[in-house]
Chains A and B, each alone.
Chain A
Amino acid sequence: MDQPLLELDNLRVDFHTPTGIVHAVRGLSFTLGRERLGIVGESGSGKSMTGRAILDLIPPPGLVTADRMVFRGQDLLTMDKRERRKLRGRRISMVMQDPKYSLNPVMRVGEQIAEALRGKGPGVRRRVLEALEAVRIRDPERVYNLYPHEVSGGMGQRIMIAMMLAPEPDLLIADEPTSALDVTVQMQVLAILDDLVAKRGMGLIFISHDLDLVASFCDRVLVMYGGRVVEELNARNLRAATHPYTQGLLDSLPRIDDQREELPTLRRDPAWLED
């Protein structure tokens, strides 16, 4: 049996501010295999902070603590900063929401991917072109020489994914990777991620506010509210959700075929914040 890719136990992210401590993530635990795990929640639920904490990208005054944080048998908590940095981008990568802000605007697309591969020479150029082909960019030679402002949003996001996947990471954290894209482009980008998980056996953490999308794409879904997981679901059984928060979210979505006059709105129960 494979060892798990990532084990998290009692992850907490706290921000120490002048007006008090803000608990962004409050005791999150999960074990990730080579699968597609969805993390769903509204803004402020702690879903993005979870992704960033795994990569050690929480800026001060944020503080990350955990009882256990192990990536492929390596203890991330005791590892020194340099070792941790080596994992980042090589073994664990992250794709963020908006390619406009994540790509370097004054560097050609191909050179940016080459930089991610940390190499030079003709071999690297070939690998960059392969990486662009892997995300179904039709004319990689042409795209190699473009600047980020010369590509569309969908193409920019595919370039980001190509860059993050070029070093062949074991784990990809995708934080709202398709939320800025049109639905048809979103489908194509998801199909690329789907293939990469299947072909390379990569683990994927897919962070999103879109319950329906996550349920249709992932194997397993964690629903977060107020920094905690309130419910874990098999993605196929999203409709069988039992937590009132998950049910409330599902009910409040308008549907193409429904004729409800009034959409039910969520009544937040303070008890959801407690254990």
Chain B
Amino acid sequence: MIDVRNLDVRFGQGAGALHAVRDVSFSVAQGESFGLVGESGSGKSTVLRVLAGLNPRWTGQAALAGMPLGPRDAPLPRLVQMVFQDPYASLHPRHTVDRALSEPLEIQGIGDVGPRVERALADVGLGPAFRFRYPNQLSGGQRQRVAIARALMLEPKVLLLDEPTSALDVSVQAEILNLLRRLRRAHGLTLLLVSHNLAVIAHMCDRLAVMNRGAIVEEMDVATLRRQEPREAYTRQLLLASRGYDRDVAAGIVTYD
């Protein structure tokens, strides 16, 4: 469903240029959930933005559902949609939930708007009472539910998720992760999830790739992650550091290039 070969992304030119994504290749089967995990600056979000058509300058090959994607093409909105990290920033503050959810339908010329909006709200666990509210009348978790509903309005095959729960409290994170798992089953979605949180990736994904400084360090299945048996030293350090504070681990931290 998703196929990326030798993807390279550079920002800027000359001495100040940043090689943000280096020769990244991976593929995700239909209905699979794939995780990209890494620290800030590892390039994981940039890969996602390339697939969403938000980052037009790249080289390499990318294909969604067998259709090749060029650097200047916007991917088909009915094929792929994205959910962003910060639900406070990704909804228009002066648009009601109804408007946010109807807009994709109107742009695509899809009728039957009212019932579709109500169904979408019910699908993400929000009652019809939420339809005419503004974002400032919603909690962070409710906003993220609206953002997920908006992404599903056009019934895409692929959902790109960029740190969908890292701005939320842990109890709300659990609700959103449960919702995403349920929606994935119900709609047969293919998920590409970017996160810095290994536990979230372990909970949500079948396979994952670990990124560092723009490149994929290693790819593994979730069983390997759960057994905490990665191949690479970089991943082992990431796993150790995720377990909480430990004096000895802190003293042994090294930087990997």
Q: Do A and B bind each other?
A: yes
Q: Does A186 contact B (CB under 8 A)?
A: yes
Q: A213 with B39: in contact, given A182-B196, A263-B177, A265-B174 (CB under 8 Å)?
A: no
Q: Are B169 and A190 in contact (CB under 8 A)?
A: no
CB distance from B248 to the nearest CB of A (A): 10
Q: Are B200 and A183 in contact (CB under 8 A)?
A: no
Q: Does A19 contact B (CB under 8 A)?
A: no
Q: Are B178 and A263 in contact (CB under 8 A)?
A: yes
Residues of B within 8 A of A255 (CB): 199, 202
- Of B73-81, B126-134, B236-244, the stretch lying at the interface with chain A is B236-244
CB distance from A182 to the nearest CB of B (A): 4
**Alpha-carbon distance A213/B170, docked complex (angstroms):** 13
**Alpha-carbon distance A94/B229, docked complex (angstroms):** 39
Q: A256 with B40: in contact, given A183-B196, A187-B253, A263-B174 (CB under 8 Å)?
A: no
Q: Size range of the interface on B?
A: 35 or more
Name which of A184, A186, A248, A257 has the most chain B CB atoms within 10 A of its CB: A184
Q: A38-68: which have CB < 8 Å to B?
A: 42-43
CB distance from A237 to the nearest CB of B (A): 15
Q: Is the interface of B mostly helix, strand, loop or mixed?
A: helix
Within 8 Å by CB of A212, from B198, B238, B244, lies B244
Residues of B within 8 A of A258 (CB): 202-203, 226
CB distance from A197 to the nearest CB of B (A): 12
**Alpha-carbon distance A261/B251, docked complex (angstroms):** 36
Q: Does B108 contact A (CB under 8 A)?
A: no
Within 8 Å by CB of A262, from B178, B225, B237, B251, lies B178
Q: Does A97 contact B (CB under 8 A)?
A: no
Q: Mark A231-259, 1 if CB is under 8 A from B, else 0.
A: 00000000000000000110011111111
Within 8 Å by CB of A187, from B171, B198, B202, B249, lies B249
Q: A257 with B228: in contact, given A184-B238, A187-B250 (CB under 8 Å)?
A: yes
Within 8 Å by CB of B199, from A194, A249, A253, A262, lies A253
Q: Mark B136-179, 1 if CB is under 8 A from A, else 0.
A: 00001000000000000000000000000000011101110110
Within 8 Å by CB of A190, from B177, B178, B228, B245, lies B245
CB distance from B1 to the nearest CB of A (A): 23
Residues of B within 8 A of A261 (CB): 181
**Alpha-carbon distance A37/B14, docked complex (angstroms):** 49
Q: Does B246 contact A (CB under 8 A)?
A: yes
**Alpha-carbon distance A260/B202, docked complex (angstroms):** 11
Q: A194 with B241: in contact, given A183-B196, A252-B174 (CB under 8 Å)?
A: no
Q: Are A265 and B178 in contact (CB under 8 A)?
A: yes
Q: Are B174 and A264 in contact (CB under 8 A)?
A: yes
**B237 nearest CB neighbor, chain A only:** A184
CB distance from A196 to the nearest CB of B (A): 13
Q: Are B171 and A252 in contact (CB under 8 A)?
A: yes
Residues of B within 8 A of A209 (CB): 169-170
**Alpha-carbon distance A42/B167, docked complex (angstroms):** 12
**A43 nearest CB neighbor, chain B only:** B169
Residues of A within 8 A of B238 (CB): 183-184
Q: Are A42 and B199 in contact (CB under 8 A)?
A: no
Name which of B40, B175, B200 has the most chain A CB atoms within 10 A of its CB: B40
**Alpha-carbon distance A123/B140, docked complex (angstroms):** 49
Q: Are A265 and B181 in contact (CB under 8 A)?
A: no
Q: Does A153 contact B (CB under 8 A)?
A: yes
Q: Are B241 and A184 in contact (CB under 8 A)?
A: yes
**Alpha-carbon distance A262/B196, docked complex (angstroms):** 21
Name which of A182, A211, A215 has the most chain B CB atoms within 10 A of its CB: A182
**Alpha-carbon distance A139/B231, docked complex (angstroms):** 34
**Alpha-carbon distance A264/B170, docked complex (angstroms):** 11
Q: Are B39 and A187 in contact (CB under 8 A)?
A: no
**Alpha-carbon distance A153/B239, docked complex (angstroms):** 21
Residues of B within 8 A of A153 (CB): 40
**B168 nearest CB neighbor, chain A only:** A43
Q: Are A191 and B250 in contact (CB under 8 A)?
A: yes
Q: B205-257: which have CB < 8 Å to A?
A: 225-228, 237-239, 241-247, 249-251, 253
Among all A-B residue pairs, the 8 with the closest Cβ atoms: A216-B244, A254-B203, A191-B250, A252-B174, A266-B171, A263-B174, A182-B39, A42-B169
Report 17 cross-chain contacts, Cβ distance below 8 Å, ordered by A residue. Answer: A183-B196, A183-B238, A187-B249, A188-B253, A194-B245, A209-B169, A216-B244, A216-B245, A252-B174, A254-B177, A254-B199, A256-B226, A257-B228, A258-B202, A258-B226, A262-B181, A264-B174
Q: Could you list 8 further interchain pairs (A-B, Cβ under 8 angstroms) beyond the known A184-B237, A209-B170? A: A184-B241, A188-B250, A191-B247, A249-B171, A252-B171, A254-B200, A254-B202, A260-B203
A: which residues have CB within 8 A of B?
Answer: 42-43, 153, 182-184, 186-188, 190-191, 194, 209, 211-213, 215-217, 248-249, 252-266
B: which residues have CB within 8 A of A?
Answer: 39-40, 140, 169-171, 173-175, 177-178, 181, 196, 198-200, 202-203, 225-228, 237-239, 241-247, 249-251, 253
